[in-house]
A and B are shown apart, each in its own frame.
Chain A
Amino acid sequence: MELTDADLVARVLVDDDQHAFGELVRRHQSTVRGLLRQLTRTDIALADDLAQETFIRAYKNIRSFRGEARFSTWLYRIAYNCFREDARRRKEVVGVDEEQWQAEHDPQTVDPGLRHDLMHALSLLPLHERTAIVLCCQNGLSHDEASRVLDIPLGTVKTNVLRGREKLKRTLAAWGPN
């Protein structure tokens, strides 16, 4: 019988069982690294560095995990905070304004050599919409869980998902079938 995340967390808390924490890392490394690759617009080296930092912070702060939410939701929150702190450090512009986004996704200006696929369209979204789409539509989090991960109101999450979806649909429609 496979141990649940809650069982593994309990072993880490009670027995300082690093073997159990290793199993948690193995289980969640793909989704955490995938999320961070989306946030960093496929900068794989940066995403993996942030993912490593995420799991190390999770281990150091595992006593603050109360079990009210899923362990994966708690991990996503740490990952998102790592990303934001890194972006602040790099003084990255964390949002693309609407005019710039419109210019980027205008089919007349898009480089025909670039792949016109869903993941590319996703990377063109502003950060707040891209994050909401990745968490809710790709990783299956509820709007409530996503609002806790991102520390923003529930209504804002819903708006970002709605707008993100509409933009993706318009972009894919403009590019036409592959």
Chain B
Amino acid sequence: MIDDETLDRQLREAAPYVDDEGFTARVMAKLPAAPREPQWLRAVILVGLALLGSGVAYLLSGGGRFVREGVIQLAGFPIWLLLVFAFGCGLVVGAFAVIVAIRKTPEVRDVARLRF
């Protein structure tokens, strides 16, 4: 009589691989549609928070005096320094935007195999 190990090995070998043959596609076709958040609500919340934050900052800063003083200080800087600062800010914002875009795009994520 065969031993347990041989029997288990034969059982594993006897189990055939079942070809997909469209099974996955049939399952995916029957899945319930992914619920979509209302995009307008997200925009309203973001804009509302931005306006609220701006209003609070304006009131606490005594009518935006800090903005005027900040602009006067910036005007005193050399042009090349202002250009470098603007370029740097643009790079940072752009990099952030690319990272967020990759995370939101499944096809690009799979190709890039990047993990954040």
Q: Given contacts A20-B106, A30-B18, A169-B2, are A25 and B24 in contact (CB under 8 A)?
A: yes
Query: Cβ of B20 and Cβ of A29 under 8 Å apart?
Result: yes
| Distance, CA A100 to CA B115, complexed state (A) | 57
Number of interface residues of A (CB under 8 A): 39
Query: Cβ of A33 and Cβ of B23 under 8 Å apart?
Result: yes
Query: Cβ of A25 and Cβ of B28 under 8 Å apart?
Result: yes
Query: Cβ of B106 and Cβ of A17 under 8 Å apart?
Result: yes
Query: What B residues does A52 contact at CB under 8 A?
Result: 23, 26-27, 30
Q: Which of B6-14, B45-53, B58-66 contacts A (4 or more CB under 8 A)?
A: B6-14
Instruction: Tell me the total A-B contact number using a CB cutoff of 8 A.
Output: 79
Query: Cβ of A21 and Cβ of B30 under 8 Å apart?
Result: no
CB proximity of A12 to chain B, nearest CB, Å = 9
| Distance, CA A170 to CA B18, complexed state (A) | 29
Query: Cβ of B26 and Cβ of A33 under 8 Å apart?
Result: no
One digit per residue, 1 when the CB lies within 8 angstroms of any chain A CB and 0 when it does not, for chain B 36-77 equals 000000000000000000000000000000000000000000
Query: Cβ of A133 and Cβ of B18 under 8 Å apart?
Result: no
| Distance, CA A163 to CA B23, complexed state (A) | 35
Number of interface residues of B (CB under 8 A): 30
CB proximity of B21 to chain A, nearest CB, Å = 10
Query: In this assembly, does B78 line the interface, its C-beta being within 8 Å of a C-beta of chain A?
Result: no
CB proximity of B33 to chain A, nearest CB, Å = 9
| Distance, CA A59 to CA B28, complexed state (A) | 10
One digit per residue, 1 when the CB lies within 8 angstroms of any chain B CB and 0 when it does not, for chain A 6-19 equals 00000100011111
Query: Cβ of B23 and Cβ of A48 under 8 Å apart?
Result: yes
A residues near B, CB below 8 A?
A: 1, 11, 15-22, 25-26, 29-30, 33-34, 37, 48, 51-52, 55-56, 59-60, 117-119, 122, 133, 137-140, 165, 168-170, 172-173
List 23 interface pairs A-B (beta carbons < 8 Å), by A numbering.
A1-B115, A15-B104, A16-B35, A17-B106, A18-B28, A18-B31, A18-B34, A19-B106, A22-B24, A25-B23, A29-B23, A29-B27, A34-B16, A52-B26, A52-B27, A55-B27, A56-B30, A60-B32, A119-B14, A137-B7, A165-B4, A169-B1, A169-B2
Q: List 16 other contacts, CB 8 Å, given A25-B23, A137-B8, A140-B12.
A: A1-B113, A15-B104, A18-B31, A25-B27, A26-B20, A29-B23, A33-B23, A37-B18, A52-B26, A56-B27, A56-B31, A117-B14, A118-B14, A137-B11, A138-B14, A169-B7
